[in-house]
Amino acid sequence: DAGVIQSPRHEVTEMGQEVTLRCKPISGHNSLFWYRQTMMRGLELLIYFNNNVPIDDSGMPEDRFSAKMPNASFSTLKIQPSEPRDSAVYFCASSDRRRGLAGTYEQYFGPGTRLTVT
Amino acid sequence: GDSVTQMEGPVTLSEEAFLTINCTYTATGYPSLFWYVQYPGEGLQLLLKATKADDKGSNKGFEATYRKETTSFHLEKGSVQVSDSAVYFCALRRGSTLGRLYFGRGTQLTVWP
């Protein structure tokens, strides 16, 4: 089982550039989550999808951030234009609402993308 | 709203010491509770879980008991190892939120030999 795949693992870009982070969830999972982790704010949920539909994007910081899930096996998180305060580790996670013990819906996290905006 | 509060870190222990990381929660209804662990440079992994009051989750020597009367889910381990050094996150999920987890801030644990 490949697990959640994220790319790139590291991204260094200059302020003002567009950044696209990619995620491939575990095959068969139907929920996908994007998180941001920083020392100052801890782990924040940015947006999550269920069956490719965005359910809650209230955690998206501002209009510079957008996320898409065109199909069940791929999602992107885009920042345009990027700013130094966007520097963080971005995690993607997936879960399967249809299986497992009721009430658990374990989330499987990817290895993260470390973004540095200079 | 739903939230999780866990003890501030960092926690530093010697090998074989007893570990407690406190976690309390605020939620309506009967949430499911989780502990996740994050090793350096990796994503979070589920460590243990409990879905109803008085349930005890356990894994790799770690335990936590779902206490509804005190709204707590404290993580314990009787004898920590150097390999347990990581960041530990407490989290909750309510049944109506389509799998969304609410995480605490995380507690850094460092175990010295």
* pLDDT, tens digit, 9 for 90 and up, residues A54-97: 998 989 988 999 999 999 999 999 999 999 999 999 999 998 86
CA distance A24 to chain B (A): 14
**pLDDT category, B2, cuts 50, 70, 90?**
confident
User: Is the pLDDT score of B95 beyond 80?
Assistant: no
Nearest CB neighbour to B43, from listed A45, A55, A111 = A111
Whether A106 sits inside 8 A of B49 (CB atoms) is yes
How many beta-carbon pairs below 8 A join chains A and B? 60
The reported pLDDT for the residue numbered A98 is 63
pLDDT-based confidence at residue A2 (cuts at 50, 70, 90): confident
* Per-residue model confidence (pLDDT) at position A69: 97
Higher pLDDT, B52 or A8: A8
- Least confident span in A65-79, B72-86, B95-109: B95-109
Closest by Cα among A1, A18, A21, A19 to A9:
A21
Per-residue confidence (pLDDT) for residue A61, from 0 to 100: 87
Cα–Cα distance, B105 to A37 (Å, whole number): 10
- Minimal-distance CA residue of chain B relative to A94: B99
User: Distance (Å) from the C-alpha of residue B91 to the closest C-alpha of chain A?
Assistant: 11
CB contact under 8 A, B51 and A43: no
What was the pLDDT predicted at A21? 98
Least confident window among A14-23, A47-56, A76-85, A104-113: A104-113
Are A97 and B99 within 8 A, CB to CB? yes
> Strand pairing partners for B47?
none
pLDDT tens-place string over residues B17-73: 999 999 999 988 889 999 999 998 889 999 999 988 999 999 999 999 999 999 999
All residues at 6 or more sequence positions from A68 whose CB lies less than 8 Å from its CB, including other chains: A75, A76, A78
| pLDDT (0 to 100) of residue A41 | 87
Average confidence (pLDDT) over B92-103? 76
B42 lies within 8 A of chain A by CB: yes
Tokens read off for A37: 């982790």
Q: pLDDT value at position A103? A: 47
Are A104 and B49 in contact (CB < 8 Å)? yes
* Closest CB from A43, A91, A105 relative to B99: A105
- Closest CA of chain A from B32, distance in Å: 6
Q: Distance, in angstroms, between A43 CA and closest chain B CA?
A: 7
At B79 the three-state DSSP class reads: coil
Per DSSP bridges, beta strands B107-112 and B11-14 are parallel
Other Cβ atoms within 10 Å of A76 Cβ, number: 15
B93 in contact with A, Cβ within 8 Å = yes
Please tell me the predicted confidence (pLDDT) of residue A100.
53
Query: What percent of chain A lies above the pLDDT cut of 90?
Result: 74
| Residue A62 confidence (pLDDT) | 85
Phi, psi of B89 (to 5 degrees): -120, 130
